[in-house]
């Protein structure tokens, strides 16, 4: 009987693990087909990653979050300019499909002494 209980416990543990991993998978946002997800974190006074290289024409889903205060994310020469709420207040997502070129992005919310150095670049090549 004890042996049987142990076997049952083991099966239950495995089932629980499977259930947990399923839940985990379904919690993640599934990007649309052909979309490349890039996660970017902002922190005084940098973006990580600060250099993103992609093929021109790729549909990028940029998922941005702040690790400290409110920041902004502005891609110079485009109308993309969004606010990233403070740490713990969630992720902001924006889609960007670059043609070939270099796109500088910058923080657009005054966030402190190093604010103007808070920049990065998306490089899209053919
Ligand atoms: Cu800033």
Average pLDDT on 99-103 reads: 98
Is pLDDT of 56 > 60? yes
- 125 and 56 in contact (C-beta within 8 Å)? yes
The Cβ of residue 116 has, within 10 Å, a number of other Cβ atoms equal to 10
Q: How far is the CA of 94 from the centre of ligand 1 (A)?
A: 18
Average pLDDT on 101-106 reads: 98
Q: How far is the CA of 67 from the centre of ligand 1 (A)?
A: 13
Measured distance CA(126)–CA(108) in Å, rounded: 29
Measured distance CA(16)–CA(4) in Å, rounded: 18
Q: How far is the CA of 121 from the centre of ligand 1 (A)?
A: 16
> What would the pLDDT profile of 76-100 be if each residue is shown by its tens digit?
999 999 999 999 999 999 999 999 9
Phi and psi dihedrals of 102, rounded to 5? -110, 130
Structure confidence at residue 50 as a pLDDT band (50, 70, 90): very high
CB atoms within 5 A of ion ligand 1 belong to: 107, 111, 115, 118
Go through the domains of the chain in sequence order and give each one's CATH number. Answer: 24-125 (2.60.40.420)
Structure confidence at residue 30 as a pLDDT band (50, 70, 90): low
């Amino acid at each position: 009987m004890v042996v049987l209980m142990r076997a049952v416990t083991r099966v239950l543990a495995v089932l629980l693990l499977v259930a947990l991993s399923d839940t985990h998978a379904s919690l993640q946002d599934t990007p649309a087909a052909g979309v490349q997800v890039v996660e970017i974190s902002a922190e005084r006074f940098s973006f990580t990653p600060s250099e993103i290289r992609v093929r021109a024409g790729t549909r990028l889903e940029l998922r941005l979050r702040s690790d400290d205060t409110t920041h902004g994310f502005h891609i110079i020469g485009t109308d993309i300019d969004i606010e990233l709420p403070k740490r713990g207040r969630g992720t902001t997502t924006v889609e960007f499909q670059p043609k070939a070129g270099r796109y500088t992005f910058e923080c657009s919310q005054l966030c402190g002494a190093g604010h103007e150095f808070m920049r990065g670049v998306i490089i899209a090549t053919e």
